[in-house]
Structure 1
Amino acid sequence: MEGASPTASNRISQHVVDLRAKARSAAAATRDWLFSHQHADGHWCAELEGDSILQSEYILLLAWLGKERTEIAKRCAEQLLKQQEPSGAWTQFPGAPIDVGSSVKAYFALKLTGHDPAADYMIRARNVILEAGGADKVNSFTRFYLAMLGQIPFDLCPAVPPEMILLPNWSPINIYRMSSWSRTIFVPLAIVWAHRPTRDIAEDVSIRELFINEPKDWPELRCPGIEKPRGLFSWDRFFRTADSGLKLLEKYKLRPLRKRALRLSEQWLLDRCEQSDGPGAIFPPILWGAIALMTLGYSAESPEVRYMLDHLERLAIDEGPATRLQPCKSPVWDTSISLRALAAAGSGLSQPQTCRGVEWLLSKEVRVPGDWTNNVDCEPGGWFFEYENAFYPDNDDTSMGIMALVDQLAAANISLELHPGDTLANTSVVVGGRGIAEQLAGPSAALMEQAAAATRRGIAWMTAMQNHDGGWGAFDKNNDAEFLCHVPFADHNAMIDPSTPDLSARVIESFGRLGVTIDSPGKVGDVVRKAVAYIRANQMSDGSWFGRWGVNYIYGTWQCLVGLRAVGVPADDPAIEQGKLWLLAHQQACGGWGESCMTYEDPSLRGQGSPTASQTAWAMLGLIAAGGANLPQVVRGAQYLMDTQRPDGAWDEVEFTGTGFPRVFYLKYHYYPIYFPLLALAEWNRATARS
């Protein structure tokens, strides 16, 4: 406010005071909305929306089973019609350009379920697909579906040899060098590739009309963003030569280790169904797992296959005449952030609803070893994303879960603090605060101790999971073998799980919430200092940070500002100042912030897009952390949220602001425009009250 007249300053101050009162009312309405949508056992879980491929691929599975004209298949087809763009295309998110693979699968699914190819919407789809390059340009996953339904030979799919499971961990190439999500798809898909199960379908439902060239002349498969390399020696050439060699061995049945590899693959797949909502607890490996088991001789009604199919059905949501599927469910994530937002708004453990939420969250802590133990020696701890996924806890949910516990206790004037030691063994989480015995007694006291123990294990686990570059990936440690991105199968753009600045900043934010700073001694202090160096090194030249798990630079910049400040990086640090200026420069005239998923394709568009409640909240939270709560721009952001709030306390948001695989698959978290605006308004109210 420097330079403003006293009268102007008074007007501004009074405006902020009035706005704070409105913000409290807005937050109260959202708090009530969240409580009204809480499940009886204490958790929250919103719809997690993906694009049309979920319906299309489910129909293609049903077609392979001979069930393409069933009621569920027809209902999924109705959803595909709802998702079709006016141009005739299907896209990765609303307003995006055509995605050829999605469009080919949707068109095929509609034909299989009985839709007339002469219908106007089918003609539009056919025309736009051909204009975009035809079925020739589909990715590896789509090729597998086409091969299974007799549209192309299996030889045109990339080699996925089951013998890979025999390679030891020390081998430069083995299944544990892949990201966890690729690994859980690779194993069942390798079984499918080995058996090549095909169902011949009637000619009148084939999609040869979408082929521009003969399949043998289709272009090479390649990861998005990786151009065909020049020169004699390259990883690209190596893997393509290997692909040809493996197919030649397959042709002449030179596969002495095949039976052993398939036996191990089968057991690996079944093992990962234990304590899980299906292998990996996400749609693709569950679907391919069902197909893999049936190719191995399991009947469709066997308990093992029924388990897979039941978990797919649990992802379905019926609405009117249509059914849509979710890629997975997000209860741990939704519950953790809801608890954080409610704590910021003043709803702590003194309220039975939040107490039940904390109890539920603690019940989901991972206490068994998973895939991460292949290169990490640590006591199990942390949280996963879904209802059950014990093999795959992740750093994002673990850090968010810890902060939910810390914030809920803090709302009851109880602190969890990390007391660093020279080693993790003598690092401890202690409970502090005044009046604990009076505030929390009996079961609540036990809950507090459980929270402290779970926090200690989570911090120890994340510390052990830190990558050599100082950052964190999601599920694995040092999962950064970039050469694997040249494998033809890697065209889903998610073959590895390297460090990302947004996730790394969230991890150190959780450390900071426990009192750890860049000045802390011992092992934990070293972990934070190394992470801060990584985040600094990955700041963009314009001051922003890339967001791997949310869209996109607004998400990354918010999280990096909050994470750096949480561990004691001062507000006047150049990195903080540059990030703050970038956010301020990208506020829109309405007072909100927005950014499109197109920024993954074209980074020059960063910070641009339709304003959304979730992205406005992220920008506000970043600016508040950077010391800008009283800036006029942040006040305008708060005003924007209040102006766009619905009477019931929620916000509307059609945009996709979550990221699955950049450039390939995006997500719409239906609670993002609920708990993030609540968190932002509550934090803004607290910050301005202190100033």
Structure 2
Amino acid sequence: MKSRISAGINQLIEKLQQDQSPNGSWDYPFETGISTDCYMIILLRTLEIHDEILIKQLTDRIISKQEKTGAWKLYYDEGEGNITATAEAYYALLYSGYYRKQDLRLKKARQYILANGGLDNVHLLTKLMLAMTGQLKWPARFPLPIELILLPPTFPINFYSFSVFGRANMAPIMILADRKYCLRSKDSPDLSDLLTRKHDHSDNDSVHFHNTEEWRSLYETIEKGIKCLIGLPSYIHKLATEQTKQYMLARIEPNGTFLGYFSSTFLMIFALLSLGYSKKDPIIIKAVKGLKSMKCEINGQTHIQYTNAAVWNTSLISYAIQEAGLSTKKQMLERANNYLLSQQHYKYGDWIIHNPSSFPGGWGFSDNNTLHPDVDDTTASLRAIARNVQNAPNYRQSWDRGVMWALSMQNDDGGWPAFEKNTNSRLVKMLPIDKAEFLLTDPSSADLTGRTLEFLCSCTNLSKNHEAIKNGMNWLLRNQEKDGSWYGRWGICYIYGTWAAITGLRSAAVGETHHSVRAASVWLLSIQNPDGGWGESCKSDSKQSYIPLKASTLTHTAWAVDALIAVSDKPTKAINAGINYLLNHLHHKDWTTDYPKGQGMAGDFYIHYHSYRFIFSLLALAHYQNKYHTRQ
């Protein structure tokens, strides 16, 4: 086993060395299905930017993902298909001009859409895209009036009640919904035959919201707050529009995108057009260029990424290589860590609203991101540079700022969020917006809390009795599921959360016999597959309970094995079986290789991190070697 592990580690290191970019980073694709590819086609055609090479490349990728049913899926075991993904693909392929309704593939797609509820059954964000491109009517009243942006942070619900990624999408949507803006081009397809809702003629093609008693009460509260604002309604409305516009413009990244995300940039472009900006305005041209810059190639096909994961990949890979103890890779690591130092944030971002006493010092997810750091990337980057802090002054400065920022971001409940402190308002969840709890809130989560706890206990000199550590530990113990697992908000899903929680608790000196750790270990052992591996379905996040994938994946196996290593003083039969699965499948490729391991919005947004199979396999093998090699 010992020699096989060493060989496996060396193979992974060689692969990573080959894939490192000249600037020291790793830019493995951040793959999110076909949605961004579809929206890019729709955007280019609507703006009458006829980049035929790119449009044809994107259509080729989209059509290659179609299932025999005529549908498109978000993940392998989703069922027959996904209505939203299929509608987006159908629209984009028609709009591209390279496919027509009469084509057999599009006929099958249309049949699937109609059989599954038509355009009335797609996700809300897709409905809004259809409204702004003239396929659906805007609702008479949008859940978030644009004047909301003027309400003070002390008001029960206000613009800063939302998470930063919620605001990034809602700001342009509020402008668009207020103006009921739509833009069609001469090539716009007609999707009216995909509407199935039976309403009055004037209403049968509009966006609808669930109108609950709770929501009506909340809307009345917002309206009362708006009426208390000083000034004539017309002045208040104009001021709100201007402030919302300025919110977007002030957060345009150097590459032209709005906070570095595809969706927010797409929406911003339409919002600016609705405000009278020309299609050829430099801001819009640069924004489109920024979206194009997120292009990557996957298996010879062109994909537009939602963002890139360069900082995240680089921090995780640097740390994993160091855990493997390969000092001969010094130059490779120096380049990686110098890159990370260059990506640290020194600007104040929106996080300061709820965390006014802290100074900048975090890291963001991508190199497009200079304005909104997050806790996960910050602790990951700090892990990567930890071994350099004692001997290099430039590392020490970055370290001190980063650690203080991460500590300052702890929520009042003891857990850690991703982007912003204490943005988990119960009122936000009452909004009649699909998946509002995922899109608009940023609560404490087991994955963020567990990994932050692990970092603080393993890499800093903080006492295990430090208040932040005790509060984080208590949050994890309070939020364990009845079956012994933890839910991971940003990954798939219960295996992910359980791995982070166990490694965090063990680093905080919670013993392996503690009832919480023992329950988690028993749960992991109960879901191990006969081949020695682990695998979890994306269905888990929508069902809010563990759903097996019925196949093993490298990444899920690595997470589970790493968690079990953390609680066992010697290798067990289950651990060895998991390690053997990793070693036997390092170069194996099938559908499980491309299966998403991350998620952003349950049921609608899944991420295939192309780096994960290398990073976490390497980490599990390194931890096994470090803990047990003397006992082999």
Same fold (TM over 0.5): yes
Residue 101 of structure 1 is matched in structure 2 by 84
Which amino acid in 2 is paired with 1:655? Y
- 2:321 matches 1:342: yes
CA distance in 2, matches of 1:546, 1:341: 24
Whether the 8 Å contact between 1:182 and 1:494 is mirrored in structure 2 is yes
More deviation in 54-63 or 65-74? Answer: 65-74
Q: Is the 8 A contact 1:79 1:324 kept in 2?
A: yes
Which 10-residue stretch deviates more, 558-567 or 483-492?
483-492
Return the letter of the residue paired with 2:2.
R
Aligned pairs for 1:269-668 (under 5 A) are 269-274=248-253, 278-318=257-297, 322-348=301-327, 351-376=330-355, 377-406=357-386, 408-409=387-388, 431=390, 445=391, 448-491=392-435, 493-515=438-460, 519-520=464-465, 525-627=466-568, 629-646=570-587, 653-668=593-608
**Equivalent-residue separation in structure 2 for 1:291 and 1:308 (angstroms):** 11
1:171, distance to aligned residue in structure 2 (A): 1.5
Structure 1 range deviating more: 555-564 or 156-165:
156-165
Q: What are the superposed Cα offsets for residues 172-204 of structure 1, whole Å, 9 maximum, x if unpaired? A: 222111011110111122222233332346699
8 Å contact from structure 1 (residues 23, 681) kept in 2: yes
Larger radius of gyration: 1
Q: Distance in 2 between matches of 1:257 and 1:398?
A: 39
Does residue 669 of structure 1 match 2:609? yes
The alpha-carbon deviation at position 123 of structure 1 amounts to 1.7
Distance 2:418 2:627 in 1: 31
The DSSP-based 3-state class of the residue aligned with 1:594 is: strand
CA contact (8 A) 2:435 2:602 kept: no
User: 2:66 is matched with which residue?
Assistant: 84
Distance in 1 between the 2:117 and 2:353 partners?
42
Distance 1:177 1:604 in 2: 28
| Cα distance change of structure 1 residues 213 and 331 upon mapping to structure 2, 3 Å threshold | same
Q: Determine if contact 1:332/1:387 at 8 Å carries over to the other structure.
A: yes
Structure 1 residues 685 and 392: CA distance shift in structure 2, 3 A = same
**Conservation of the 8 A alpha-carbon contact between 2:415 and 2:475:** yes
- Letter of the structure 1 residue corresponding to residue 345 of structure 2: V
Would you say the 8 A contact 1:659–1:666 is kept in 2?
A: yes
The CA deviation at 1:458 is 1.7
- State whether residues 393 and 475 of structure 1, in contact with CA within 8 Å, keep that contact through their aligned partners in structure 2: yes
Query: Is the contact between residue 345 and residue 361 of structure 2 (CA under 8 Å) also seen in structure 1?
Result: yes
3-state SS in 1 of match to 2:440: coil
The Cα shift of 1:92 comes to 2.1
The alignment yields a C-alpha RMSD, in angstroms, of: 2.8
Q: Which runs of 5+ in 1 are unaligned?
A: 1-18, 247-252, 410-415, 417-430, 432-444
Distance 1:243 1:214, change over 3 A: farther
Q: Which AA in structure 2 matches 1:487?
A: L
Does structure 2 conserve the Cα–Cα contact (< 8 Å) formed by 1:554 and 1:607?
no
Q: CA deviation at 1:348?
A: 4.2
Q: CA deviation at 1:503?
A: 0.7
8 A Cα contact 2:28 2:610, kept in partner:
yes
1:310-341 superposed Cα distances (whole Å, 9 cap, x missing partner): 11101123568853211100011000110111
Deviation, 1:594, is 0.6
Partner of 1:63: 45
2:334 & 2:139 partners in 1: Cα distance?
A: 56
Q: For the Cα contact (< 8 Å) 1:553–1:607, is it kept in 2?
A: no
Following superposition, the deviation at residue 518 of structure 1 comes to: 6.5
Q: Is 1:112 aligned to 2:80, yes or no? A: no
| Matched position secondary structure for 2:536 | coil
1:46 offset after TM fit, Å? 0.6
- Is 1:183 the equivalent of 2:128? no
1:477-528, Cα deviation, whole Å (9 max, x unpaired): 11011221222345454210011111111111110113556643xxxx0011
CA drift at 1:652 = 7.3
Identify unmatched segments of 5+ residues in structure 2.
226-231
2:37–2:303 CA contact under 8 A, matched in 1: yes
Q: Give the Cα–Cα distance (whole angstroms) in 2 for the partners of residues 453 and 349 of structure 1.
A: 26
Shift of residue 604 of structure 1?
4.5
Q: Does 1:26 align with 2:8?
A: yes
2:362/2:374 contact within 8 Å kept: yes
**Does the C-alpha gap of structure 1 residues 580 and 320 become closer, same or farther in structure 2, counting only changes over 3 Å?**
closer
One-letter code aligned to 1:505: G
Q: Which moves more between the two structures, 207-216 or 629-638?
A: 207-216
Counterparts of 2:136 and 2:543, CA distance in 1 = 33
**Percent of pairs with identical residues:** 28
2:455 is aligned with what amino acid?
A: S
Partner of 1:329, secondary structure, is coil
- Identify the residue that residue 176 of structure 2 maps to in structure 1: 192
Shift of 1:160: 4.2
Number of positions where the alignment pairs a residue of Structure 1 with one of Structure 2: 618
Q: Which moved more, 1:595-604 or 1:560-569?
A: 595-604
Q: Distance in 1 between matches of 2:401 and 2:547?
A: 37
Following TM superposition, by how much is the alpha carbon of 1:539 offset from its aligned partner in structure 2, in angstroms?
0.7
Per-residue deviation, 1:301: 3.0
**Does the 8 A contact of 2:164 with 2:419 survive in 1?**
yes
Separation in 1 of the partners of 2:418 and 2:41?
Answer: 30
Q: What's the CA shift string for 1:603-652, capped at 9, x where partnerless? A: 4443544211111110111011112550111111111111112299x997
**Cα offsets for 1:341-398 (capped at 9, x unmatched):** 1001123487111011111111111111110001212111111101032221001111
Q: For 1:622, what is the secondary structure of its paired residue?
A: helix
Q: Secondary structure at the match of 1:26?
A: helix
Cα deviation digits, residues 202-222 of structure 1 (max 9, x gap): 699211121112563579856
TM-score for the superposition, normalised by structure 2: 0.91
Once residues 364 and 177 of structure 1 are traced to their aligned partners in structure 2, the CA distance between those partners, rounded to angstroms, is: 28
Give the direction of change, closer, same or farther, for the CA distance of 1:652–1:552 in structure 2 (3 Å limit): closer
- Verify the 8 A CA contact 1:339 1:354 in the aligned structure 2: yes
